[in-house]
Amino acid sequence: MSLDVLAIAAHPDDVEQTCGGALIRMSEAGYRTGVLDLTAGDMGTRGSPEIRIAESEAASKVMGVAWRGNMRMPDAKLENSLDFRTKLALKIREVRPKVVILPYWQARHPDHYRCGEMGYEACFLAGLRKLDPETEPFRPSKILYASLYADVRPSFIVDISAQFERRMSALLSYTSQYGEMFEGGALFPNEQEIRERLAAVARFYGNQIGVKYGEPFVVKEAIQIDDIVSMPSRSI
C-alpha cells in the first residue's frame, strides 16, 4: 500500500476536528488519504470501542479516506514505550505515507502530545533497515502538526471553506459522542453547539489568510517558496 497523506491521532474523532478538512481537500484533489487512530477511545463516557470504530468508518466514507486503521492501544494510558513505538513504525512501513499529520506536541490531554511525540519517533524508526528485517524500510518525507487546538502561530493554513460542511458531517457521524442527548432533564442542542464552536475556530484561522474557513498546521522546518511574486494571502 502507498498513501499520499496519513493523519495519526490518539482517538477516533480527533482527526475530524483538527485536520479533516485538509484530508477531504486532498482526497478531492485525487490523493490517497488515510487515518490511523491509536486508541478506540475506550475511556470515553459515552459509547464503546466497537461503536466508536464503526462510527470512525462511517466518518471515513464521508471524508473520502482510502484507508483507516486503529491500533487499539489503551486510551488515556498511552505511553511512548518501545513496544508501541515499534508497532507504530511497522504500521507506517505498511501504509507508506509520503506525508504524515500528527497532533501538535503540546496539549492538555496527555494522549494527544504522546501521540505527536510517538508518531515523530516512529516515522524515524520506520526508516531504519534493522528495525525489522522482514519488512521494507520507509520514512515519510514530511511531518505536519495539526495545531487547531494549540495556542501557537501556524506555519501555514489550509483553506477548507469548500470542505467545512463535509468535515462537519464526518464529525457528526460519531452519534455516540455528538448525538442529541438529555442533560438536566432537557434536550441539549448538542449539534448546534458543536457546529458553532467548530465554525468559530475555523473562521478564526480562515480570517488569517482571507478566506472563510481554515485549518492551521505547524512544521518544524522552514518552508521553501520558489515564486515570491505569486504568494497567496495579503500582508496586513
Task: Give the integer Cα–Cα distance in Å for 128 and 5.
Answer: 21
Taking the complex as a whole, the smallest distance from the CB of residue 113 to Zn ion amounts, in Å, to 11
Whether residue 181 contacts residue 190, with contact meaning beta carbons closer than 8 Å, is answered with yes
Q: What ranges make up the beta strands (E) of the chain?
A: 5-9, 33-39, 67-73, 99-103, 142-146, 156-159, 181-183, 186-188, 214-218
Per DSSP bridges, beta strands 99-103 and 5-9 are parallel
Tell me whether residue 52 or residue 93 sits nearer to Zn ion (CB atom): 52
Closest among 37, 30, 88, 93 to 60, alpha carbons compared: 37
Choose the stretch contacting Zn ion; rule: CB under 5 A; options: 2-10, 46-54, 158-166, 211-219. Answer: 2-10
Q: Of the listed pieces 8-16, 31-39, 80-88, 200-208, which binds Zn ion according to CB under 5 A?
A: 8-16
User: Minimal CA–CA distance to 107: which of 228, 193, 218?
Assistant: 218
For residue 92, give the amino acid letter. I
d(C-alpha 7, C-alpha 23), whole Å: 8
Is residue 52 at the binding interface for Zn ion, with CB under 5 A as the rule? Answer: no
CB of 13 to Zn ion, least distance (A): 7
> Among candidates 38, 27, 31, which has minimal Cα distance to 4?
31
Q: Which is nearer to Zn ion, 10 or 125 (CB)?
A: 10
Q: Determine if 14 is a binding residue for Zn ion (CB under 5 A).
A: yes
Cβ-based nearer residue to Zn ion, 17 or 163: 17
Cα gap 10→17, rounded to integer Å: 12
Q: Select from 6-14, 114-122, 124-132, 178-186 the region that touches Zn ion (CB under 5 A).
A: 6-14
- The grid coordinates listed for 111 are 494522549
CB of 70 to Zn ion, least distance (A): 13
Residue number, 159 or 215, with CB nearest to Zn ion: 215
Binding segment for Zn ion (CB under 5 A), chosen from 12-20, 124-132, 183-191, 194-202, is 12-20
Is there binding between residue 25 and Zn ion (CB under 5 A)?
no
Please count the residues of this chain forming the interface with Zn ion, following the rule CB under 5 A: 3
Cell of 40: 478506540
User: In the complex with Zn ion, which residue's Cβ is closer, 4 or 57?
Assistant: 57
Contact between 11 and Zn ion (CB under 5 A)? yes
Q: Which 170-199 residues touch Zn ion, going by CB under 5 A?
A: none
Burial of 165 (0-12, 13-18, 19+ CB in 10 A): middle
Taking the complex as a whole, how short is the minimal distance between the CB of residue 230 and Zn ion, in angstroms? 37
55 touches Zn ion (CB under 5 A): no
Summarize as ranges the residues that interact with Zn ion (CB under 5 A): 10-11, 14
